[in-house]
Amino acid sequence: MVQIDIPAAFVVSMFSIDLGRNILKAEAEKTYGGRPSIYYRYLFRSVFFAGFVIAPAGIYLLSGWPGWEQIYWSRRPELVMHTGWVNALIPTFFIMAIMLGAYLGHVLGYQWLISGRANYLRPTYIGVVIVVTIIVVINYPSFLLVGTYDQYHNLNGQARTDMTSVWSNPYGFSIAWLGVMIYFVIASAYLIRTILRESASYSKG
């Protein structure tokens, strides 16, 4: 969902900093008057993950099932084609927001790490996950229904009773969502494995 994808980019970046904190801090202490090369390596990973994993998954669901992807907060995502330049900007701003979230998570997390405030990292990204979860839950049952904005809000002669459950696989939704989740899990596992192996190799060296 839009409400998850943007914060997720921030969380992944900050989690990566937390996971590789030992090597990042050690390299920072060796560098004076600039950033160590590993800073940019982690920045690339975070932004690449946001642009190659989170953004494509989010924009895919937003394009196919716009109401569900933003849990029926606005009709605009359903009206992208031939409705003016404002609505057409929604997918663009969505991707830009994801990339910005990844960048900010990296910059903030790294700054906290090298300035002796590493203890802020974990509470921050865990707190973001909790807040996002609360936002999704309080919008129940939106995340369990697939349909249109008008159906969900009982507008223009359409009713919520005409919507279908996500598990009944309307218009291929369940297959698409499962595919997105598998892709995200595999990519996340690879990212975590890469950071852990790098940190382990550095410790041995």
Domain layout of the chain by residue ranges: 2-139+189-204
Tell me the mean pLDDT in the region 2-9. Answer: 94
43-76 pLDDT tens trace: 999 999 999 999 999 999 999 999 999 999 999 9
Confidence at 118, pLDDT banded by 50, 70, 90 = very high
Tell me the mean pLDDT in the region 169-193. Answer: 94
What's the whole-number average pLDDT of the chain? Answer: 93
14-39 pLDDT tens trace: 999 999 999 999 898 888 767 899 99
Model pLDDT, residue 192? 96
Model pLDDT, residue 204? 64
Model pLDDT, residue 31? 80
Confidence at 101, pLDDT banded by 50, 70, 90 = very high
In the chain, the percentage of residues whose pLDDT exceeds 70 is 98
Model pLDDT, residue 202? 76
pLDDT surpassing 70 at residue 145: yes
Model pLDDT, residue 178? 94
Model pLDDT, residue 203? 67
Confidence at 154, pLDDT banded by 50, 70, 90 = very high
- pTM for the model: 0.92
Q: Which two tokens stand for residue 74?
A: 């606005």
